[in-house]
Amino acid sequence: MPSTCPQSFIDLPKVELHVHMEGSIRPETLLKLAKKNDVSLPADTVEGLREWYVFRDFEHFVEIYVAISNCIKTPEDIELITREFLDGQAAQNVVHSEVTYTACTIKNLRGIPWDEQFDALKRGMKYGLETHGATMGLILDIVRGDSPDIANEVAEWAVSGHGEGVLALGLAGSEARDAARPYIEAFAHAKKHGLPIIPHAGETQGPESIWEALELCDPPRIGHGIRCMDDPALVEELKKRGTVLEVCPTSNVCLTPIASIADHPIQSMIDAGLNVTINSDDPPMFNTTLSDEYHRVSEAFGWDMAMAKQMARNALEWSYLPDDAKLLVSSRLN
């Protein structure tokens, strides 16, 4: 459906630190993939798929994710989703994206080797830079529940791609206690080669998942992290470390007990002195964009454009963009 986001938020140059490639595939792109690969979907029009995408519950969210994965069959499909992702980011003036990508799932489902996936991703990234001046880096994630051998393989892929577009090793999936502990070897391998670990934690589970992430990963950033507010000692620890929290407001309203944007802890997190950024997570699945996220939070908490710009500066500062590129984007914000 058409966005009601004011143009001022669309025009604001933005950097996104927490967005999933597979979860960013819009209905238009999914329909192209389904027709190309002869995959049956619940609807055969863009309008029908948009209706199907409307968030209902977690089970439906997973159903869409599975359908998307089933439509990605070749390296050319990976290049297409990368190109169209960057088209969408450029349309809302997102100048740099640090994108979580689950290479192990694509390999396991489709048998596409990592080197072929990476070549396709790099072709898409080259297109984004040449066409839009938009840059993109990759966070290759381990999925909690996968075997340590798979995790070690993903860590090796991440290390091999470092300097060519891979920025970090990620960790997603269930936040159950000790679910990350089997991957200590993978984390150590990545860190030995200069790659940071950026885990999801404190989204659906409490502070204990964040404490575990700090212990095992020593992360510069944490995906979500909103449950830190349940533990004052954890808030102080995150402030002491300078850990950045990649907050995804609309996603949190959909997937956690938070009732509305106005009930989201983001303002309390900022007031507590935590390092916070605004992100979209899986935007078409939650009927949002990064511009919408800025607008919704600003509207809910009475922010002016100066505050929105400061949040954009924060994301820029805590990104892995080179310093010269940061200066260029910063000049546009000023």
Pairing of strands 275-278, 221-224: unpaired
Q: Following DSSP, what letter does each residue of 209-269 receive, concatenated?
A: HHHHHHHHH--SEEEE-GGGGG-HHHHHHHHHHT-EEEE-HHHHHHHSS--SGGG-THHHH
> Which residue is listed with tokens 């892929």?
157
Looking at residue 23, what DSSP letter applies? G
- In the structure encoding, which two tokens stand for residue 273, read together? 């002195």
- Compute the distance between CA of residue 162 and CA of residue 157 in angstroms, rounded to an integer: 9
Active site residue 203: yes
- Compute the distance between CA of residue 82 and CA of residue 85 in angstroms, rounded to an integer: 5
Angle between helices 27-37 and 75-91 (to 10 degrees): 160
At 199, which helix (H) or strand (E)?
A: strand 197-201
φ/ψ bin of 133: left (φ > 0), alpha (ψ from -120 to 50), beta (otherwise): left
Among candidate residues 203, 208, 212, 293, the one labeled active-site is: 203
Q: Active-site residue numbers?
A: 203
